[in-house]
Amino acid sequence: MHPVIKLLAQRIALGLLLLFAASVLIFIGTQILPGDVAQSILGQGATPETLANLRAELGLNDPPLTRYLNWLFAAMQGDLGTALTNGQDIATSMGKRLGNTLFLAFWAAVVAVPTAIILGLIAVRYQGRWPDRVISSITLATVSVPEFLLGYIAIFFLSVQFRVLPSLATVYDGMPFWDKLYTIALPVIVLVLVVLGHMMRMTRAAILNVMQSPYVETAELKGLRKFTIIARHALPNAIAPVVNVVMLNLAYLVVGVVVVEVVFVYPGMGQYLVDHVAKRDVPVVQACGLVFAAVYIGLNLVADVVSILANPRLRHPK
């Protein structure tokens, strides 16, 4: 077997194993929560007979292993169950919410990724000088501030003080495309600020590491301009760690938007999860956790594959 195929097969098998482990943790975490699911659905006035019937209907009397296997096999077939609060199919309800979250994450990535790479190149070009210090200081500040605080600061200045952008990111089916972009502009700005610093700093560090290589010194001796050396010689050879950090931040954009969606009341997966956590709707919480884990592991797997294909030392480990 070719070393690349073997390495890819190992990465995929490890990803599936991690997803299985995540499903176990998600199931255990939802089962050890305090309180009674049936009691929270029916309320304090429910009779013991009604509670017993609902527990039997929900399968709560079955052994935990049986419930886990039933849930796992159903999820593998695309059946995520039914919401306890409204009786709707979870997969159908989640489809629109996931689409909204991916829409928000996509536009945040479109802005954040090229901006981070460009700022990283500028920081390397002017290493130790004022552009490098300004960029590093601003990005470090944005990384250090929590998402919800950035969101409220953005709402205060851009929605309350200057009335430039709407404070609520409410989108709906049939909404014109440009209206959607205008509506999600504020959460996109917040997400860009959250992930921009990490990507920029990792890009800068990766390129600076490559700049110590002999072939870069040879390019400098040939009289090439420094920015040309950075863009044409250093960046392509630093692409593997850059791709890794970009993929990690893309995974965060999809999985970590819960706080941002709640702040801006955006109808995505994060808001959907928070709403049903408050209602103690266990099947919805389990389904959201499994989808988030699959997305995060999947994007990390893509990062591994790209790193293997982009790095000759990983393609030929011997």
Check residue 35 and give its pLDDT: 65
CATH number of 97-273: 1.10.3720.10
Q: How many CA atoms lie within 13 A of 80 on its CB side?
A: 21
Kindly report the CA angle at 269 between 245 and 157, in degrees rounded to 5? 75
Please, what sign has the CA dihedral across residues 238, 240, 242, 243? Answer: positive
Residue 318: is its pLDDT beyond 60?
A: no
Q: How is the chain split into domains, by residue range?
A: 97-273
Residue 147: is its pLDDT beyond 60?
A: yes
Q: What is the mean pLDDT of residues 227-234?
A: 79
Tell me the pLDDT tens digit for each residue of 82-105.
887 777 888 888 888 888 988 998
Residue 317: is its pLDDT beyond 60?
A: no
Q: Report d(CA 209, CA 305) in Å as an integer.
A: 22
Most confident of 147-151, 230-234, 308-312: 147-151
Give yes or no for a contact between 195 and 112, defined as CB atoms under 8 angstroms apart. yes
Of the pLDDT bands very low, low, confident and very high (cuts 50, 70, 90), residue 207 is confident
What residues have CB less than 8 Å from 205, skipping those under 6 apart?
Answer: 241
Tell me the pLDDT tens digit for each residue of 32-45.
776 666 666 666 66
Tell me the pLDDT tens digit for each residue of 248-287.
788 888 777 888 888 998 998 888 888 888 777 888 888 9
Give yes or no for a contact between 269 and 275, defined as CB atoms under 8 angstroms apart. no
Check residue 63 and give its pLDDT: 84
Tell me the pLDDT tens digit for each residue of 158-173.
999 988 999 888 888 8
Q: What does pTM read for this prediction?
A: 0.83
Lowest mean pLDDT among 36-45, 127-136, 236-245, 270-279: 36-45
Check residue 107 and give its pLDDT: 92
Check residue 155 and give its pLDDT: 93
What residues have CB less than 8 Å from 128, skipping those under 6 apart?
Answer: none
Task: Spell out the alpha helix ranges (H) of 32-126.
Answer: 37-42, 48-58, 64-76, 90-125
Residue 137: is its pLDDT beyond 70?
A: yes
Closest to 289 in 3D by CA, of 72, 144, 51: 72
Closest to 187 in 3D by CA, of 171, 209, 173, 167: 167
Query: Which tokens belong to 24?
Result: 């176990």
Tell me the pLDDT tens digit for each residue of 280-315.
788 888 899 899 899 888 888 887 777 777 666 655
Q: What is the mean pLDDT of residues 190-215?
A: 85
Of the pLDDT bands very low, low, confident and very high (cuts 50, 70, 90), residue 227 is confident
